[in-house]
Amino acid sequence: MLEPRISVLLVDDHSLVRRGFRRMLEDDPAITVVGEAEDGHQAVQLAAELRPRVVVMDFAMPSMNGAVAARHILRSAPETAILILSMHAEASYVRTCLDAGVRGYLLKNAMDLEMVAAVKQVAAGKQVLDPRLGSLDPLAGPPLQLTTRELEVLQLIVHGKSNKEIAVVLGLSANTVAVHRANIMQTLSIHNTAELVVYAIRQGLVSIA
């Protein structure tokens, strides 16, 4: 009896990139791409609808990065394996993604065969970290203390949004956003927005796409 094919949801904000990934993955008869999403919000929605075995997702996307999207996806579909593709080799970015529950982290310039093999490995329950990350220890240091909602607010702060603008995007009141902003700064021991933005980017907590 044949094994069922591995169903994959592709997530990237560039249609040409998604097209290339689809061709690459579907060249393998064990894999089928069941859907495509162009941002984190759409990824969360389609993952809940399609229930793919694997989500292959870019880290750097506007409004919601791959790590935050992963948290949302795994909340409704904890059996989903998420493979993050990123341009960032810093341990802090890898840690942010692993804290979110992703099972694999590949650098964006991964070769075709590496991505196919990684999809099969995460679908089988294994963790995959790009060997080019070298001896980085993404598990070093304390775990991330921000909630998923706080990471969403932080992403929009980094994009220069005001409390009112963030409130509209996330469907919250401006007062609630202000509380989230204050909690983020208190948790991270940071006292102004400029420092917060620099810290968030350096630590891989947000994407700047």
Q: How many domains does the chain divide into?
A: 2
C-alpha–C-alpha distance, residues 7 and 61, integer Å = 22
Using the predicted structure, report yes or no on whether residue 141 has a pLDDT greater than 60. Answer: no
**Could you tell me if 43 and 111 lie in one domain?**
yes
Do 114 and 195 fall within a single domain? no
| Predicted confidence (pLDDT) per residue in 6-20, tens digit | 999 999 999 999 999
pLDDT tens digits, one per residue of 40-93? 999 999 999 999 999 999 998 877 899 999 999 999 999 999 999 998 888 888
Domain boundary among 133, 165, 187: 133
112: pLDDT strictly greater than 90? no
> Given this model, what pLDDT does residue 132 score?
82
What pLDDT was estimated at residue 142? 57
Sheet harboring 128-129: ordered strands across?
Answer: 31-37, 6-11, 54-58, 81-86, 104-107, 128-129
CATH code: domain of residue 171 = 1.10.10.10
Q: What is the mean pLDDT of residues 192-205?
A: 88
What confidence tens digit (pLDDT) does each residue in 118-136 have? 999 999 999 999 888 876 6
Query: Quick check: is 196 in a domain?
Result: yes
Across the chain, the runs of DSSP E, i.e. the strands, are 6-11, 31-37, 54-58, 81-86, 104-107, 128-129
In sequence order, the β-bridge partners of residue 56 are 10, 83
Domain extent at residue 125: 6-133
Q: What is the CATH number of the domain that holds 37?
A: 3.40.50.2300
Query: How far apart are alpha carbons 178 and 32 in whole angstroms?
Result: 44
Query: pLDDT tens across 80-111, in order?
Result: 999 999 988 888 888 889 989 999 999 987 66
